Amino acid sequence: MSSLSEKNCSACRADSPLLSEADLQAALLQLPEWAVEIVAGVNQLTRTYRFNNFVQAMAFTQAVGALAEEYGHHPALLTEWGKVKVSWWTHKIRGLHENDVIMAAKTEQLFHARFAAGV
């Protein structure tokens, strides 16, 4: 699997295949701080980012929102004082698609490029 953050999302339809277990495991090697969490029977790719305060957490939340808009794929974001939980999954297929690991990698790249130094 090539560098996930360099890939682009593809259009996803209701009959698009779920990410294979092998591809998911390969992606998780590139995303070591991410985990698969089952929520209401649906696999979601999640990570919680930590910040020094609420302002930094909100700035990251807004940056992830802008990234999601750019690629037309949107996560669940839970913003609290000093932390943001990001969850990627594809509603249409009720699980993980390649788009989700791509966007997790792009989220990771965004964090390290713009926010990690201030944490």
Helix/strand/coil for 53:
coil
Write down the pLDDT at residue 9.
Answer: 79
Please give the average per-residue pLDDT across 51-58, as a whole number: 97
Nearest in space to 112 (alpha carbons), one of 25, 33, 35, 29: 33
Angstrom distances, CA of residue 11 to CA of 38, 97, 111: 24, 11, 25
**pLDDT higher than threshold 60 for residue 10:** yes
Please give the average per-residue pLDDT across 1-19, as a whole number: 81
Residue ranges covered by each domain of the chain = 18-118
> For residues 60 and 39, what is the distance between their CA atoms, to the nearest angstrom?
24
pLDDT digits (tens, 9 = 90+) for 61-116: 999 999 999 999 999 999 999 999 999 999 999 999 999 999 999 999 999 999 99
- State which fold the 18-118 domain adopts: Gyrase A; domain 2 (3.30.1360)
Share of the chain above pLDDT 70, in %: 98
Nearest in space to 108 (alpha carbons), one of 78, 84, 82: 84
Cβ atoms of 27 and 1 within 8 Å: the answer is: yes
pLDDT digits (tens, 9 = 90+) for 12-47: 888 899 999 999 999 999 999 999 999 999 999 999
